Structure 1
Amino acid sequence: MSAEPHLPLPAELPLVDEPGGTDVDLKTQIIRFTLTGGLSAIVDFGLYVLLLKAGLPVSAAKALGFVAGTTTAYLINRRWTFKADPSRLRFIAVVALYACTFAIQVGINQVMYYAIAEHWWRVPLAFVIAQGTATVINFVVQRLVIFRIH
């Protein structure tokens, strides 16, 4: 009985450990991170609202939106914003960071959702406050720690 061949992993996944660091200046990183964040927020918020309308609980809808949005952000930021090669250690660090910001973002969204009176702007305002907090944390940690990993 022969072993079945495995399909190759996508190129974005960290297949090898490479030296870290980046030669992209701070201004360029901020602009690219903001643009990437905007696209990722559209993915996150769009899925969040869609799942809310489908009847999912607030936390479940936000969690799934977050996962989709942060996956989008990581793949674009690694290649474009920070121009970093794949690295297992960096990938593990990003997963740990996203786990922390996941808890922070979902928690803040939940608190704000129920703290704000029921108006048409409750969902977007809760989302923006939670997203903004997580975005600042993500940029600082990615710039100062994760994309400097060697």
Structure 2
Amino acid sequence: MLPGRQTGARGLVAVAARYLAAGLVVLPLSLGLHLALVHAGLDVHLARALSFVAGTALVSVLHRRWTFRSAGARGAAWWMALLSATTFAVVVLTHGLALAALPSVVGGGWVVPAAWVVSQGLGTTVSFAVLRGAVLR
């Protein structure tokens, strides 16, 4: 275990708080990039994929050293690649479904950002559960 790393329920709360804080730093950057790309005329699905990659790259750096205080482990790169691919699939599929379902729930101007939030929320939940439980223990 690394210095300063907590275990048990208290440790889980601390990790979850750091995870949330890191996400809140990256969130406006990723959403802003997504909306800027859509506004510039890029396909909404491609814009979502690019904003996911950019956000994941940035938040990965924050999570590795600050959120989970991980020095790394053998094989962690493979787990991270698998996690990123899985999360990417969850995010892109959820985004497409949300784009189809949300027009009946929210106003036209809010569909794209709302779909981003829905897909990001589910992707973040999957990512946290896997990172905490399997990759960066």
TM-score range, shorter chain: 0.7 to 0.9
Instruction: Tell me the TM-score normalised to structure 2 length.
Output: 0.86
RMSD: 1.8
Counterpart among 92, 97, 105 of residue 111 in structure 1: 97
Most deviating of 66-75 and 112-121: 112-121
Counterpart among 84, 106, 110 of residue 98 in structure 1: 84
Query: In the alignment, is the contact (CA less than 8 A) between 2:38 and 2:44 conserved in 1?
Result: yes
Amino acid at match of 1:85: A
Q: Which runs of 5+ in 2 are unaligned?
A: none
| 1:39, distance to aligned residue in structure 2 (A) | 1.7
Q: After the TM superposition, which residues 1-150 of structure 1 pair with which residues of structure 2 at under 5 Å, given as runs?
A: 23-24=5-6, 25-87=11-73, 89-117=75-103, 119-148=108-137
Instruction: Tell me the TM-score normalised to structure 1 length.
Output: 0.79
Amino acid at match of 1:44: S
Aligned mates of 1:93, 1:87 — CA distance in 2? 10
Aligned mates of 1:26, 1:37 — CA distance in 2? 16
Aligned mates of 1:146, 1:125 — CA distance in 2? 30
Q: Secondary structure at the match of 2:88?
A: helix
Q: How many correspondences in the alignment? A: 129
Query: In the alignment, is the contact (CA less than 8 A) between 2:72 and 2:136 conserved in 1?
Result: no
Q: Which runs of 5+ in 1 are unaligned?
A: 1-18
| 1:125, distance to aligned residue in structure 2 (A) | 1.2
| 1:115, distance to aligned residue in structure 2 (A) | 2.2
Higher relative contact order (CA 8 A, sep 6+): 1
Larger radius of gyration: 1
Identity over aligned pairs, percent? 33
More helix by share: 2
Aligned mates of 1:137, 1:82 — CA distance in 2? 16
Deviation by residue 1:64-90 (Cα, 9 ceiling, x = unmatched)? 000011111110000101111134511
Query: In the alignment, is the contact (CA less than 8 A) between 2:35 and 2:113 conserved in 1?
Result: no
